[in-house]
Structure 1
Amino acid sequence: MRARLGWGAAIAVILTFLTIFFAWPVGAMLIRGITNDAGALDFSAFGEVLTTSRTWAIIGHTLVMALGGTLGSVAFGVPAAYILYRTEFPGRTVLRSITLVPFVLPTVVVGVAFRAVFGTNGPLGFLGLDQTTWAVIAAMVFFNISLIARQVGGLWQMLDPRTGQAARSLGASAPRAFFTITLPAITPAIGASAGLVFLYCSTAYSLVRTLGTPGVGTLETEVFRQTQTFLDLRTAAVFSALQVVFVLTSVWMTQRLSHRTTTALRLQQPVRQPLARTDWFPLAVTLFAVVVIILLPMLTLVERSLATDTGYSLHYYHLLITSPGSGFAGGATAAQALEHSLKIALDATIICMVMAILTALVITRHVRSRALARAQQALDTFIMMPMGVSSVTIGFGFLVSIHAFNPALGQSGVLVPLAQAVVALPLVVRSLIPILAAVDPRQRHAAAVLGASPTRILATIDGPYLLRAIGLAAGLSFSVSLGEFGATSFLASPEYQTLPVYIVRLLSRPGADNFGMALAAAVVLGIVASIALILGERIRPRTLGSTS
Structure 2
Amino acid sequence: MDRSRTALIWRYAGRGLLLTPLLFLLVFFFYPLGSILQFSLAPDGKLDFAAFQQIFSRPYYRETLWFTTWQAALSTLLTLGLAFPAAHVFAKYQFPGKSLLLALATIPFVLPTVVVATAFIALLGEDSALNGLLMKVFKLEEPPLHLERSLKIILLAHIFYNYAVALRIISSFWSNQSQRIQEAAQMLGASRWMVFYRITLPLLLPAVTAAAALVFMFCFTSFGVVRILGGLKYATLEVEIHYQSLSLFDLPTAGALSVIQLMTTLVMMIVYTNLQRQMTQPLNLQSSRQVARKPRRWAEKGWLALNLIVMSLLIFAPILALIERSFTLGDGGFTTRYYEQLQENPHRSIRAVAPVAAIQNSLEYAFFVTIFSVLLGTLAAYLLSQKTRFSRWLDPVFMLPLAASAVTLGFGFIITLDEPPLNLRSSYWIVPIAHTLVAMPLVVRSVLPSLRAIKPSIGEAAAVLGASRWQRWRRIELPLITRSIAVGATFAFTVSMGEFGASSFVARPNQPTIPIVIFRFLGQPGLANYGQALAMSVILMAVCAAGFVLIERLNRAVIGEF
Both structures adopt the same fold (TM-score exceeding 0.5): yes
2:294 is matched with 274
Shift of the alpha carbon at 1:197?
1.1
Deviations 1:214-271 (CA, angstroms, capped at 9, x unpaired): 6340001001101111111121111111111121121122233223323372212222
Give the alignment partner of residue 511 of structure 2, picking from 476, 486, 496: 496
The answer for the alignment partner of 2:53 in structure 1 is 47
What's 2:242 paired with?
224
Paired residues in the alignment total: 537
Bigger mean CA deviation after superposition, 450-459 or 260-269:
260-269
Q: Does 1:364 align with 2:385?
A: yes
Judge conservation of contact 2:343–2:354 (CA < 8 Å) in 1. Answer: yes
Equivalent position of 2:149 in the other structure = 131
* CA shift for structure 1 position 406: 6.6
Cα deviations across residues 40-60 of structure 1 (Å, max 9, x unaligned)? 322212212221111111111
SS of 2:510 mapped into structure 1? helix
CA distance in 1, matches of 2:49, 2:359: 43
After alignment, is 258-267 or 142-151 more displaced? 258-267
User: Aligned residue for 2:254?
Assistant: 236
Which of the numbers 12, 17, 21 marks the counterpart of 1:5?
A: 12
Aligned to 1:344: 365
Matched, 1:27 2:34: yes
Query: Which residue is equivalent to 1:370?
Result: none
AA at the equivalent of 2:18: I
1:442 corresponds to: 457
Within 2, Cα distance between the matches of 1:285 and 1:145? 16
**Would you say the 8 A contact 2:22–2:380 is kept in 1?**
no
The answer for the alignment partner of 1:478 in structure 2 is: 493
Match of 1:104 among 91, 99, 110: 110
Tell me the TM-score normalised to structure 2 length: 0.90
Q: Among residues 122, 135, 153, which one is paired with 1:116 in the alignment?
A: 122
Matched residue, 1:292 = 313
| Counterpart for residue 279 of structure 2 | 261
Deviations 1:330-376 (A, max 9, x none): 421111101000001111111111101101112113x4xxxxx1100
SS at 2:269 equivalent = helix
Aligned equivalent of 1:150, options 164, 168, 178: 168
Q: Is the 8 A contact 1:346 1:478 kept in 2?
A: yes
Equivalent-residue separation in structure 2 for 1:288 and 1:124 (angstroms): 18
Distance in structure 2 (CA, Å) of the matches to 1:530 and 1:511: 29
Q: Within 2, Cα distance between the matches of 1:377 and 1:110?
A: 37
* Corresponding residue of 1:56: 62
**2:79 corresponds to 1:73:** yes
For residue 55 of structure 1, what is the amino acid of its counterpart? Y
CA contact (8 A) 1:205 1:486 kept: yes
Q: Give yes or no for the alignment of 1:309 onto 2:324.
A: no
C-alpha distance in 2 between matches for 1:140 and 1:214: 18
- Structure 2 distance, partners of 1:256, 1:535, is 31
| Distance in structure 1 (CA, Å) of the matches to 2:302 and 2:237 | 38
Percent identity of paired positions between Structure 1 and Structure 2: 35
499-508 or 201-210, larger mean C-alpha shift: 201-210
Q: Secondary structure at the match of 1:495?
A: coil
- Which residues of structure 2 form unaligned runs of 5+? 1-7, 132-143
Alignment of 1:150-169 (within 5 A): 150-169=168-187
Q: Does 1:387 align with 2:402?
A: yes
Moved more, 294-303 or 6-15: 6-15
- Structure 1 residues 27, 546: closer, same or farther in 2, change over 3 A? closer
2:529 pairs, out of 491, 514, 518, with 514
Q: More displaced, 518-527 or 88-97?
A: 88-97
User: Structure 1 residues 535, 273: closer, same or farther in 2, change over 3 A?
Assistant: closer
Deviations 1:483-540 (A, max 9, x none): 0011111001110010101101111112222111111110011112233444566689
| Cα deviation, residue 276, structure 1 | 3.7
Letter in 2 for 1:24: Y
3-state DSSP class of the match of 2:104? Answer: helix
Q: CA deviation at 1:104?
A: 3.5
- Residue in 2 that maps onto 1:15: 22
Query: For the residues of structure 2 that align with 1:117 and 1:245, how far apart are their CA atoms?
Result: 35
Q: Secondary structure at the match of 1:116?
A: helix
Paired amino acid for 2:412: G
Find the aligned partners of 2:86 and 2:542 in 1 and give their Cα distance. 26
Worse overlay, 486-495 or 287-296: 287-296
TM-score (norm 1): 0.92
- 8 Å CA contact 2:241, 2:257 repeated in 1: yes
Amino acid in structure 1 at the alignment position of 2:394: L
Q: 2:500, 2:91 → 1: CA distance?
A: 33
Give the 3 Å change call, closer, same or farther, for CA 70–219 of structure 1 in structure 2.
Answer: same
Distance, in Å, in 2 between the alignment partners of 1:545 and 1:508 is 44
